[in-house]
Every structure is written in structure tokens, then in C-alpha cells.
Amino acid sequence: MQERYLGDSHDFVKYSLLRFLGSQMGLGIGINWYLTCPDALSIAAEAGHGEKRQHLSGQDWSWDDDLKARLAVFGASECRSFETLADSGALPTGTMLFDDPVPSIELRPEWNAQALERLREANLVFLDPDVGLEVQSMTAATSKRYAFFREVAAYRSAGKIAVTIQFARQCDPIKRAQAVRARLAMTFPEDECLPVLRARTSPNVLFIFSAPVSLQDQLSQAVHAFAAQGPAKLEIIS
């Protein structure tokens, strides 16, 4: 993720999901920001990214008005920082954070081990890469923008729920959701029964879940209940 995009419509869905799951399931929440520096990546601000803030005024985004109010400050680009986020109260109380920037591909194993240690007390860890989970076309230069399947597996193997954001640009979101879930299920076959949450933002964003078997029924029920709050914007992909 990049700080310059903080508080946009994707973040509204993301934070409201974490608040809901933390409350409904009694979970300690952790976030690995997968922080990237756009200058280091030579990434220009993609047109309109970070400025999609329909949640501030649209009635279809009315399922968490408290969060909506807390994110209003990010309408000003100069306020988009982790410090402002911490002060806003948008994240669940006690959220554990890992904000070390994503390193080169050679250093990723050490970096992920540090993240696991920093977030060891969390029951649910949210992975927040720029783009989503790794793809075949990923290169060493672009790898910082992706989470690796083995990184998701490390949280899952540690007994945690892992939730990964996946943007669905220039593709069929349902097919992308099913393909990513199937790839994850190559390591944990039981995860293929978990729902994928689709948010009808621009672009669409998907939330991919991996969870210990003992928590899967409770997680699935909670995700369905969350989606029911915003039927115009949220959809379950079975």
C-alpha cells in the first residue's frame, strides 16, 4: 500500500470489514501494510487512484457511518499519513501494525519472518499489497507490489486467519476470485470452501480468506453478515 491513497473507498471497505470481524469474532487484528515507496518503484500516481472517495457522500456506503466520519480527514491529501490514521480511530482498538517497507525479492523471507514476529499476538492478519497476490507476469522489479502465496501460508500455518486484498482490474472479478482462491487451496484445500468478498468499487476489490478449519464456519458466517449490510456495494462469491 501507499500512504498517498489512505482513506479512499477501498480503505473504507477494508477497515469496516476488519472492525466487523474483530467485533463479531472477538479477534485481535494485525495488519501488514506491504508498504511501498512510489519513488523507489518509479511508479507515478495512477490516474484517479486514491481519489475515489464516494463513501463520503453516497448512500450506498451507509453501513458504518462512524468510520465514514473518521475517514473524512483523508479527503485532504496532506493528511494522508499513518500518524493521521492512528489518531483517527478508524482501525479496531489495539490493532497491531507492521509497516516496514517491502524489500527486494531476495530479502523477502527475512522481512516476512519479522512481520510474523511483530504480529504474533494477532488472531487475524490483513495483508495489504498494492495489487494483490503474485501473478505469473510478476518480475523482481514489480514483486514489491504483490503478496506471495507462501507468505499467506506462513500466517495460516501459524494458526491465524489471513485476509489478502486483491484488486480486479481489466478482468472478470468472479473468475479472478475463483482463480486466486483455487491457487491458495493448492496449499490448504479446505480453504476453497471459504467465500470471497467482492466490493463494487472502481476498480473492484476482492478479499481472499484463509483460515484454520476450526474457525472457517464462524468466519464464513461473519463475512456473509458483513456483506448483507451493504447489498449495493458488497457481494459474496461462493
Q: What pLDDT digit, counting tens, does each position of 50-93 carry?
A: 456 666 667 788 899 999 999 999 988 889 999 999 999 999 99
Amino acid identity of residue 87, one-letter, is D
Spatial contact of 154 and 116, defined as CB atoms under 8 Å apart? yes
Burial class (CB in 10 A: 0-12, 13-18, 19+), 119: buried
Q: What is the mean pLDDT of residues 114-130?
A: 98
Q: What pLDDT digit, counting tens, does each position of 145-166 carry?
A: 999 999 999 999 999 999 999 9
Query: Distance between CA atoms of 137 and 146, rounded to whole angstroms?
Result: 11
What predicted TM-score, i.e. pTM, was given to this entire model? 0.92
Spatial contact of 166 and 191, defined as CB atoms under 8 Å apart? no
Residue 57 confidence (pLDDT): 67
Residue 58 confidence (pLDDT): 72
Q: What is the mean pLDDT of residues 125-141?
A: 96
- The pLDDT mean for the chain works out to 93
Contacts of 182 (CB under 8 A, 6+ apart): 192
Query: Distance between CA atoms of 161 and 223, rounded to whole angstroms?
Result: 13
Q: What is the mean pLDDT of residues 91-105?
A: 97
Q: What pLDDT digit, counting tens, does each position of 14-60 carry?
A: 999 999 999 999 999 999 999 998 765 555 545 445 456 666 667 78
Residue 5 confidence (pLDDT): 85
Contacts of 83 (CB under 8 A, 6+ apart): none
Residue 47 confidence (pLDDT): 46
